[in-house]
Structure 1
Amino acid sequence: MGKHTYYYQHETDDLVDSHNQSYQLPNDYSIFPTSRIGKIWSVIVRPLAHLVSFVYIRLILNARIEGKEKLAQAGKQGFFLYGNHTQAFGDAVLPLSIIDAKRYYAIGAQANWGIPVLGKLVLPYFGLPIGENLEQSGKLIRAVSTVIKAGKVVVIYPEAHVWPYYTKIRPFSSTSMHFPIAANAPSLCMTTTYSKPKHGSKPKITVFIDGPFYPDTHLDKKKQQQKLHEQIFSAMQKRAEKSNYEYCTYHKI
């Protein structure tokens, strides 16, 4: 994607149309593969996705990742990884350059499952679809609990919509901290920043890892969410201040 100017009314606007945006999964979908072929493919697709991530993140975007050592502080237990959503494809594969491919799951909108190839061959093995009704929401809650108890990692982009190369952190609700509080699990954040390149027009990309942040179990659930939200939002905002180059411009109308 090249330079572009985006116009928005609210910081929660969806500015990028994805293929088959209205796609919804059938109500009886299974989040984890159940067929023999599906289980075999799930073993194969993860190292392949890691390779794609290495090529795209390290060689094409030429992104640098700082603070990966902080992941070790969370130990082998399951944890949550929050990020700012500024790369349409990059954000799908970025975590695979940060965490072990065997541990990676990401919460995403069902429309993503309607994307050709990616939605059929990749997302069913990494993705945890957001529920569109009570039954589906219950399915997601159970799946997240299963993943965390198994010592895996759940990636969440709380801003929801991708704003390409955006250099600030957009507001997101403290309800996006529901899962770490419910699971009593640690959270970390990864903040993608953009700085002036030495050559050309493409920005220099640095991803900063911060955390881990733990639920404050002395507080009630709602206040735990609010505190964790403040910690993660503040850490991401502080890192975002390192961005000093706008590759895409944004104008409020």
Structure 2
Amino acid sequence: MKDIAGATKEVRNLVQENIKSAVAEKRYNDDVQPVDWENMQKVTPDFVFLTKNPIKILGGFLARGLAMFVSPILCKVGIGTAKVHGRENLKGLKGAVITCNHVHIFDNLFVRWGTRGHKLYITVAEFNNMKGPLGALLRGAGCLPFSDCFTAMKNMSKAIDKLIQKGRFVLYYPEKAMWPRYEKPRPYINGAFHACVNNNVPVVPTFIAFKPKAGKGNEGKTAGEYYIMKPIFPKPELSKKENVEYLKNATFEAVCQCYKEVFGEDPYNETPVSINL
């Protein structure tokens, strides 16, 4: 039987076993899910991150409208709720990096719903840059795929700088890989925080916390609620390298504190060592 994301029970079980193994060996950024490489569209040096084509711009406008319309619906169906806390922390922000734990195929829709009123772009793994109509829809809705090509990554970085300078929000998943419904924060990699420092904008830590689902017949089921924390700004007295480290650590600490406030306990007896990538 397949779930709403199209995964069979066997695949779900395999993913959970992979997560257990990764946790035991403290490999918190490992990919744990099978990837459909055949459906991936390679991100090449000539990949266009910000189109000037009027037809594609119109298509993107429609794609964003559709994404915003379905966001609360799919959050309720897939994640169990569309409840958002802390939207007041976004007030007055123009240009920011958003971070979120990567825990569900629809978690970007939760971020989109939580940050509504701000134009959001979403960084994704290259294998999420899919062929066909679905891939075109995702790119139109604001997905920016990473690449193993240096030139493409340089172009992506320039595009992100332009978006932030225009006052847009850019979502990063600093945990790197998606671990379905994993409850604890995982150590961060550096990419998101370089974007903050390069553009002198804050990072806004956010977190999806999975709580037991209330109601008769929901034993063992969980629903995620979305928490938006206060923005964290780069410190002018620090160097770029120091600021990247500061923002990464401060963001992780804020998310761990959110977890503690939600569940009444620290996510870790000792903080996992962060990974510098």
TM over 0.5: yes
Q: 1:131 aligns with which of 135, 141, 147?
A: 147
Q: 1:6 aligns with which of 17, 34, 46?
A: 17
**Partners of 2:95 and 2:169 within 8 A in 1:** yes
1:214–1:189 distance in 2 versus 1, CA, 3 Å: same
Report the equivalent of 1:215: 234
Report the equivalent of 2:135: 119
1:53 partnered with 2:71: yes
Per the TM alignment, residue 101 of structure 1 is displaced from its structure 2 partner at its CA by 6.3
Report the equivalent of 1:197: 213
Structure 1 CA distance for aligned equivalents of residues 146 and 131 of structure 2: 16
TM-score normalised by length of structure 1: 0.87
**Partners of 2:60 and 2:137 within 8 A in 1:** no
Structure 2 CA distance for aligned equivalents of residues 107 and 117 of structure 1: 19
Residue 224 of structure 2 aligns to which amino acid in structure 1? I
| Residue identity (%) | 22
Per the TM alignment, residue 33 of structure 1 is displaced from its structure 2 partner at its CA by 2.3
Q: Which runs of 5+ in 2 are unaligned?
A: 4-8, 265-277
Structure 2 CA distance for aligned equivalents of residues 157 and 190 of structure 1: 10
Structure 2 CA distance for aligned equivalents of residues 15 and 145 of structure 1: 31
**Partners of 1:20 and 1:114 within 8 A in 2:** no
Higher strand share: 1
Structure 2 CA distance for aligned equivalents of residues 226 and 38 of structure 1: 38
1:87-141 CA-to-partner distances (Å, cap 9, x unmatched) read 02x1231122112366110111111112653312222440122232221121011
Per the TM alignment, residue 214 of structure 1 is displaced from its structure 2 partner at its CA by 0.2
**Partners of 2:82 and 2:110 within 8 A in 1:** no
The SS at the match of 2:58 is helix
The SS at the match of 1:114 is coil
Q: Which runs of 5+ in 1 are unaligned?
A: 245-253
Q: Give runs of ≥4 in structure 1 deviating > 6 Å.
A: none
Structure 2 CA distance for aligned equivalents of residues 115 and 158 of structure 1: 25
**Partners of 2:44 and 2:152 within 8 A in 1:** no
**Partners of 2:96 and 2:202 within 8 A in 1:** yes
Quote the RMSD (CA, aligned, Å). 2.1
1:124-180 CA-to-partner distances (Å, cap 9, x unmatched) read 440122232221121011101110111110000011110001011111224541110
Q: 1:15 aligns with which of 16, 32, 49?
A: 32
More RCO (CA 8 Å, sep 6+): 1
Report the equivalent of 1:95: 111
**Partners of 2:96 and 2:169 within 8 A in 1:** yes
1:147 partnered with 2:127: no
Alignment of 1:150-169 (within 5 A): 150-169=166-185
Residue 85 of structure 1 aligns to which amino acid in structure 2? H
1:160-214 CA-to-partner distances (Å, cap 9, x unmatched) read 1100010111112245411101100011011011112223132132111112100
1:38 partnered with 2:56: yes
1:80–1:176 distance in 2 versus 1, CA, 3 Å: closer
Structure 2 CA distance for aligned equivalents of residues 44 and 124 of structure 1: 8
The SS at the match of 2:231 is strand
Structure 2 CA distance for aligned equivalents of residues 33 and 213 of structure 1: 31
Structure 2 CA distance for aligned equivalents of residues 152 and 175 of structure 1: 17
Report the equivalent of 2:269: none
Structure 1 CA distance for aligned equivalents of residues 212 and 84 of structure 2: 17
Structure 2 CA distance for aligned equivalents of residues 184 and 54 of structure 1: 32
